[in-house]
A and B are shown apart, each in its own frame.
Chain A
Amino acid sequence: MNITDYGWLGKLSWDSIVFSDLISNFSVSAAVGSTAGAIVIFATIATLALLTWFKVWGTLWSEWLTSTDHKKIGIMYIVFALVMMTRGLLEGMVMRAQQAAAPDGFLYADHFAQLFSTHGTIMIFFVAVPFVVGLVNLVMPLQIGARDVAFPVLNQISLAVTVAAGMLLMVSLVVGEFSTGGWSAYPPYTGGDFNPGVGPDYWIWAIVFSGAGTTLTGINFTVTILKCRAAGMNFFRMPIFCWTVLCSSILMIFAMPPLSVAALMLGFDRYLDFHFFTNDLGGNMMNYANLFWLFGHPEVYLLVLPAYGIFSEVFSTYSAKRLYGYKSLVFATMSIAVLSFTVWLHHFFTMGQSPTINIVFGIATMLIAVPTGVKVYDWMATMYRGRIRFTTPMIYAIGFLILFVIGGLSGVILANPTVDFQVHNTLFLVAHFHNVLIPGVLFGVLAGYNYWFPKAFGFRLDERLGKWSAYLWIVGFMLTFFPLYGAGLLGMPRRSFSYMDLTFKPYMVVAFIGAMVVLCALISLVLQLLVSLRDRQKNRVPVGDPWDGRSLEWSIPAPAPSYNFAELPRVTDRDEFTEAKEQGRAYQPPKVYRDIEIPKNNPLGFLLCVLSGILMFALVWYMWWLALLTTLAIIIVVIASTFRWDSEQIIPASKVQQDTEKWLALVNKTEPVGRDLENTPQNNGYAKLEH
């Protein structure tokens, strides 16, 4: 059918709603799908009802949805990531259950294919990226001693389009179906000839919009780090987290465009009958594979580098030692960022290029293990002879250190083209990338979540449940994914919804048990948050330095004021705050109080979130009038926003003085607390100076 053959509602009809399948043609598979759809609808209604019940719409609007404060934007990113993680994790569970139950599973092949496609898409683009970006937003401007990111409204817009794209994925659970083409959506299978439904269109628009958000974020963070550092903070005085963020942001700027191009070209093929990647008339699928992995490989380093940064901070703080080999960590980070662009062909060793090319890319891939190894030794040396505290972030970090080496080594195995020919497209590969992404990225962001939570909200998370969660993640991960190495070596293909060879069965059963443990880990994570909210008075850390922190973000109250610093700091050392504490410079009033100018609230981000959400939905369902209308609305809203001339507000010096003096008075009457007591209610965020 031609794109003009549709009416007002485009392709949309009653049959598109997920429940219609359940009524017309009952099956367990349809029931699972309908349950997911029902959860989305119920959760939406429940959220709206709760917000109305607690009368928080006004606060939500003025404090959050229109906020340009980088800390709040960061928190919203993380909330969004946690919601999406719940979905992605449940999908993983359903898949493990299906494979454990095979050969008599309960899902249709198509349903299983949608599950692995959404699971991959969500976990990468809507969990890992927003979680990392959220933590960076929260912390990086504080670490470099800035008032905000370089472009606060752009920051808002990046969040807006990312969330809109995530919502689109949620809608796909209720209306229509998602792509069955995996997270990489290879054509020609995802082209119009083989996949005429709306599934790949959902994928395309979610990717294009969230990708645009990530590119803009990369620009924003890069400029922030290069231009907004406090006086005296030269590059080699920057906390290592900022270094990893800088490299990762540069990857965002250069790696996201190829993805946008690939997805848009696929869209042109599907919507307008172009022939970029089709089988006929000169289309070339390998162009897609090249574009996709030109993005896809840097993407994993884009995610893991900030996590390395978080681990570096965690190792250093909880070992109470200066980071070992700071400069080698910086150079290793930069090497990884550069090398990440030289390896993308290893994703298609088996697709027909010459052995010479395979060798070149195989060697390039193995080279990445060198700087990564440097980092691992630096982290170990940081712990050596330190006064280590086994806190929650530290458990994640040590779990990472051990498990990530295994994941990395399996990567070196895969980088050998001859081995790759044997195990590509098997569960060995699935085991490998989960083995790097879960300990590498997920443990990293969860460590960061536990580590910086008190800075964001002014109270500590419950340590006991935090440790439970960390151990459950570690054990659950090992049980789920180590069996997949075995099944993969035995030849079990990835993405198969069933199998006849029962040799695989025991592996799948263990993996399923592991998935249940991971579910317990998620539950304990949620419990931890709820318990901590309940006990927040007991666990408050208003002074702002609960862990004897070393960098600038710990030198201000928790939660930080909207303007971050009463007076922009002057930096003289790499571990500036530790240095200040040792020299007695910490907790000093500013020499002079000044008016501080910060951006006002702005509704632009929220408007763009709604409009781009509708636009994507209209495009997926071929509702051209609506697509045109929302596009026009977006243009008008953006132009109108450039006519806002009074976009700044002044926080008067008297207010800054009042806040600061109140805080300093609190510091004076608070008793410093030693590291041994940091997880007790005695800890009010004033760490005692210990050696």
Chain B
Amino acid sequence: MDGNSSALNKGLRESPGAIHKDPDMVIFGFWVFMMSDLIFFGVVFAIYITMIGATAGGPGPRELFDFGSLFAQTMLLLTSSLTVGIATITMKHQRSQGSFLFWVVVTLLFGLGFLTLELLDFSEMAAKGGIPQRSGYLSAFFGLVPLHGLHVSFGCLWMLVMIAQVLTVGMTDLVKLRFLRLALFWHFLDLIWIGIFSVVYFGGWVYG
């Protein structure tokens, strides 16, 4: 490479030993983590697709899925992505702590609502004989959808921690940086949900 291209890397600013506080790097690191998580999901999706027909005489997608509830779940989750976005904007424009917390709490409630509906869905499926022990297909289903639910639960816990931190130390740079990552994570879960809706529910229903 010629000498000019060295301009591409300006290097870290000299003061920080604490390079792990550099926002640019922290957010980038989180993106890399999400890539890894995406592979995790991708592989579980692949297993689900190979097992769509493996119902072993048990109930399949057509008997089990309740698209009414799924529509409600989708709406809750997609809207929560909007509210977490609004929370990020209030943070960016340094609105009051109160309005920031309001939007975080709204997001949390949407998340919890989603989880409640999902659990109700699972119990209804179980009532129709759709338990993971019944067939390879159902094992694959319950390997994938609750994995997303677990991520959502983790996100909810994360929000509780963020609320506690805002209330105790206020909107410090570190807290903001953590919230930015939470927001990214939450949007990521939306993306996964769109995959689940299209591949697991709709795809399963079409090809099952």
A residues whose Cβ falls under 8 Å from a Cβ of B: 145-148, 150-153, 215, 218-220, 222-223, 226-237, 253-254, 256-258, 260-261, 265, 268-269, 272-276, 278, 280-284, 287, 291, 294, 563, 567-568, 570-572, 594-599, 635, 639, 642-643, 645, 648, 651
Contacts and interface: CB of A to CB of B under 8 A. Distances in A.
Interface string B43-72: 110010011001110100000000000000
Q: Of A258, A275, A563, A572, which is in contact with the most chain B CB atoms at under 10 Å from its CB?
A: A275
Given A257-B39, A275-B135, A219 B11 contact: no
Contacts of A294: 43
Nearest to B20: A151
B12 A215 contact: no
A597 B18 CA distance: 5
Contact of A282 (B25, B40, B51): B51
B19 interface: yes
A567 B11 CA distance: 12
Contacts of A237: 1, 6
13 contacts: A147-B17, A148-B19, A223-B32, A227-B24, A228-B12, A235-B1, A257-B37, A269-B139, A275-B135, A278-B136, A282-B136, A287-B47, A568-B11
Contacts of A278: 136
Per DSSP, are chain B's interface residues mostly helix, strand or loop, or mixed?
helix
B142 interface: yes
Contacts of B134: 281
A215 B44 CA distance: 17
Interface in B1-50: 1, 3, 5-6, 8-12, 14-22, 24-25, 28-29, 32-33, 35-37, 39-40, 43-44, 47, 50
A230 to B, nearest CB: 5
A147 B137 CA distance: 50
B76 to A, nearest CB: 25
A186 to B, nearest CB: 16
B143 interface: yes
Contact of A568 (B14, B43, B137): B14
Contact of B36 (A218, A273, A275): A218
Categorize the interface residue count of chain B. Answer: 35 or more
Given A253-B32, A596-B17, A231 B11 contact: yes
Given A151-B29, A254-B35, 7 more contacts: A146-B12, A147-B19, A148-B19, A237-B1, A260-B40, A272-B133, A273-B133
B206 interface: no
A599 B19 CA distance: 9
Q: Of A258, A280, A594, A635, which is in contact with the most chain B CB atoms at under 10 Å from its CB?
A: A258
Contacts of B44: 261
A278 B137 CA distance: 12
Contact of A284 (B17, B51, B174): B51
A253 B43 contact: no
Contacts of A645: 169, 172, 174
Contacts of B135: 275, 281-282
Contacts of B16: 147, 597
A507 B41 CA distance: 47
B11 A150 contact: no
B140 interface: yes
Contacts of A232: 6, 9, 11
B178 interface: yes
Contacts of A256: 36
Contacts of B169: 645
Interface string B103-137: 00000000000000000000000000000111111
Contact of A227 (B28, B47, B51, B172): B28
Q: Of A152, A258, A274, A596, which is in contact with the most chain B CB atoms at under 10 Å from its CB?
A: A274
B198 interface: no
A598 B136 contact: no
A236 B8 CA distance: 12
A231 B168 CA distance: 38
Interface of B: 1, 3, 5-6, 8-12, 14-22, 24-25, 28-29, 32-33, 35-37, 39-40, 43-44, 47, 50-51, 54-56, 58, 132-140, 142-143, 157, 161, 165, 168-169, 172, 174, 178
Question: Which 8 pairs across A and B sit closest by C-beta, in order of nearness?
Answer: A231-B11, A282-B136, A282-B54, A274-B139, A597-B17, A282-B56, A257-B40, A598-B17
Nearest to B139: A274
A273 B55 CA distance: 15
A327 to B, nearest CB: 9
A276 B37 CA distance: 21
A549 to B, nearest CB: 21
A261 B40 contact: yes
B25 A228 contact: yes
Nearest to A229: B9
A276 B39 contact: no
B143 A268 contact: yes
Nearest to B39: A257
A258 B12 contact: no
A261 B47 contact: yes
Contacts of B142: 274
A223 B29 contact: yes
A511 B157 CA distance: 56
Contacts of B40: 257, 260-261
A152 B20 contact: yes
A236 B39 CA distance: 29
A234 B134 CA distance: 56
A275 B19 contact: no
B157 to A, nearest CB: 8
A257 B43 CA distance: 8
A373 to B, nearest CB: 25
A220 B21 CA distance: 14
B28 A284 contact: no
Contacts of A230: 11-12
A220 B168 CA distance: 30
A639 B161 contact: yes
A620 B37 CA distance: 25
Contact of B143 (A234, A236, A265, A642): A265
A147 B29 CA distance: 17
A253 B10 contact: no
Given A229-B9, A233-B9, A260-B40, A272 B132 contact: yes
Nearest to A249: B32
A271 to B, nearest CB: 11
B20 A274 contact: no
Contacts of B50: 284, 287
A268 B139 contact: yes
Contact of B139 (A150, A261, A276, A563): A276
A294 B40 CA distance: 12
